[in-house]
Structure 1
Amino acid sequence: MKLLRYGPPGQEKPGLLDADGRIRDLSAHVDDIAGAALLPDGLDRLRAIDPATLPLVEGNPRLGPCVGRVGKMVCIGLNFSDHAAETGMAVPPEPIIFMKATSAIVGPNDLIELPRGSEKTDWEVELAFVIGKTAKYVSEDEAMDHVAGYCIVNDVSERAFQIERQGQWTKGKSCDSFGPTGPWLVTRDEVEDPQKLKMWLEVNGHRYQDGSSATMVYGVRYLVSYLSRFMSLQPGDIISTGTPPGVGMGQKPQVFLKAGDVVELGIEGLGTQRQTVVQG
């Protein structure tokens, strides 16, 4: 299934994408794509519905973040060997973990707002997985049972805030609009191998990132198990797994986003995003 949320910010309704690429309304069955709806039993109930029996949503409504009421957004840094190489940093011996504020989460095609004082706002196409069942001290063998599905995240990053100022990475990662998520949550059964997905990103039609989740250092299965040693993962939590090479910081000379730029990105089987950059 491809589950989604549509409508104005803060008023999104649950829906799914049918086989013809049309949005169908799920409001009669769930109140949101969140919480209990993401549990295995909840997904099974949605899977049993014939999409043709659901109301068709007319027009082209705004798509919101594909998951609602996100408890936490956990991100993994330097998790692609070829991206680590372009930054000049060593592949970490354990996953680098940082948090992105949930207030940064927006829809897949919403505006990216440059924060005041921004000097180096950058892009990162990332594969994210969404937790569907609480995970605490789970083994790698059990890990995938706790994954509801996958989606795209653009881990927008202000590099000066992140790297050149004191403190942790969070403040360079958490500005409003720095977490475009979606367009849909693709359930786990529709992704044969999350470690073999093509990933790309373009700015103003120029392709900067053209990689694959195959170069991830720590894969989805490992990350579920690893993170569950340090915190419980709850239904609806989003874990964004890192980016392939081609970020603006890695260009020679470096390239960063400016007002008016258009960012387009996608991951094989998970859809695409498109954002216009504005001054916040």
Structure 2
Amino acid sequence: MRLVTYRDGAAGEGRLGVVENGQIVDVELLGDAVGEALPATMLELIDLGPDALQAVRRALAATADARPAGLAVPQENVRLLAPIPRPRKNIFGIGLNYVEHVAESAKSLDTSKDLPKEPVVFSKPPTSVIATGEGIQHNAEMTQQLDWEVELAVIIGKRATRIAKEGAMSHVFGYSVINDISARDNRRAGQWIFSKGQDTFCPFGPAIVTADEVEDPHNLDLWLTKNGEEKQRSNTRHLLFDIPTLIADISSGITLEPGDIIATGTPAGVGAGRDPQEWMWPGDVIECGVEGIGVLRNPVVKIGG
């Protein structure tokens, strides 16, 4: 299933929907139509586990031929929010997880030219999350080096503590897209959270595609354009540390919980690694996508002086 959080109208909380043929089917109202209690939010659905997903599928099938008025709305008539508008915890970011990105970072940033021997983990606060269509804030008083990074996002569906790689994929709920925005001139003594964790620095979405519909998450094209010009293109088969390794590594010391998000790293082509270096400025439009998952589109907007 392709799941979204949407708002129908200017106000109100985000609601959980399933995308079908250009329409968004409201999951809670779908439950009402079949006499079954179904969740109203993405986190509620994830918390309820596989049985809830099966219940949603049954309800969709039962109403496929005739759905009550108001149960589904055209996607163009609603506003998409981030799939999880306010994650419960920081997003787990993975640095230097494509070989060519390691090389370009070593040339332009203060990182080692040697391949990491274990995943490089940092985090982005929940307040950094924005939806497709929302503005990436550029504050010239804070940064002159605002950069892009397209990444496959992994959403955890089942609690994971000290999980072996062999069983790690059973803990995945689904996949999405993240743009790991970075203010390269805001790194502090090698620490990345202020550079990567500022408000609006985590465009996320537009949807979560459930794990059963992604045949091989380690063979997905991913790309990014700036004002229509391609800047990044690669495939997740080039991940240095694959998804089971990331889940096993993080869960060895930090429990992963339902709804947690791992941004798996970016390939080569970031602005810092280009010659000459290239940055994002107000008026730019950044699109980044992952094959079969979706495309994020965000303008860069000016704030501050």
> Do these two structures clear the TM 0.5 threshold for a shared fold by scoring above it?
yes
Q: Residue 253 and residue 273 in structure 1: after superposition, are their counterparts in 2 closer, same or farther (change >3 A)? A: same
Alignment of 1:81 with 2:99, yes or no, is yes
State the one-letter code of the partner of 1:46: V
Report percent identity of matched pairs: 38
Q: Secondary structure at the match of 2:170?
A: helix
> How many Å apart are 1:21 and its aligned residue?
2.7
Aligned to 1:24: 25
Say if 1:263 and 1:276, in contact at 8 Å, map to a contact too.
Answer: yes
Aligned to 1:259: 282
1:121-159 per-residue CA deviation (whole Å, 9 max, x = no partner) reads: 100000010010100011111111110000000001110
Structure 1, unaligned runs of 5 or more: none
> How many Å apart are 1:251 and its aligned residue?
0.5
1:28-78 per-residue CA deviation (whole Å, 9 max, x = no partner) reads: 321200145352222222222216347112443221111244122101000
CA distance in 2 between counterparts of 1:63 and 1:36 reads 18
> How many Å apart are 1:9 and its aligned residue?
8.2
CA distance in 1 between counterparts of 2:12 and 2:229 reads 33
Aligned to 1:149: 174
State the one-letter code of the partner of 1:270: I
Aligned to 1:61: 78
CA distance in 1 between counterparts of 2:81 and 2:271 reads 26
Q: Secondary structure at the match of 1:181?
A: strand
CA distance in 1 between counterparts of 2:44 and 2:104 reads 38
TM-score after normalising by structure 2: 0.87
CA distance in 2 between counterparts of 1:177 and 1:60 reads 24
Say if 2:39 and 2:45, in contact at 8 Å, map to a contact too.
Answer: no
CA distance in 1 between counterparts of 2:59 and 2:207 reads 18
State the one-letter code of the partner of 2:14: E
CA distance in 1 between counterparts of 2:51 and 2:162 reads 22
Structure 2, unaligned runs of 5 or more: 30-37, 107-112
Q: Which of residues 227, 240, 246 is equivalent to 1:223? A: 246
Q: Residue 241 and residue 23 in structure 1: after superposition, are their counterparts in 2 closer, same or farther (change >3 A)? A: same
Aligned to 2:118: 94
Say if 2:154 and 2:263, in contact at 8 Å, map to a contact too.
Answer: yes
Alignment of 1:272 with 2:295, yes or no, is yes
> How many Å apart are 1:114 and its aligned residue?
1.2
1:99-248 equivalences in 2 (<5 Å): 99-115=123-139, 116-162=141-187, 165-166=188-189, 168-248=191-271
Say if 2:86 and 2:127, in contact at 8 Å, map to a contact too.
Answer: no
State the one-letter code of the partner of 1:56: A
Q: Residue 126 and residue 10 in structure 1: after superposition, are their counterparts in 2 closer, same or farther (change >3 A)? A: farther
Say if 2:86 and 2:129, in contact at 8 Å, map to a contact too.
Answer: no
Count of matched residue pairs: 277
State the one-letter code of the partner of 1:62: R
Say if 1:5 and 1:66, in contact at 8 Å, map to a contact too.
Answer: yes
Say if 1:35 and 1:236, in contact at 8 Å, map to a contact too.
Answer: no
Q: Residue 36 and residue 50 in structure 1: after superposition, are their counterparts in 2 closer, same or farther (change >3 A)? A: closer
Greater shift in the superposed pair: 35-44 or 59-68: 35-44
Aligned to 1:42: 52
State the one-letter code of the partner of 2:40: D
CA distance in 2 between counterparts of 1:202 and 1:131 reads 28
TM-score after normalising by structure 1: 0.94
State the one-letter code of the partner of 1:23: I
Name the Cα RMSD after superposition: 1.6
Say if 1:74 and 1:239, in contact at 8 Å, map to a contact too.
Answer: yes
State the one-letter code of the partner of 2:53: L
Say if 2:46 and 2:173, in contact at 8 Å, map to a contact too.
Answer: no
CA distance in 1 between counterparts of 2:225 and 2:262 reads 23
CA distance in 2 between counterparts of 1:10 and 1:208 reads 37
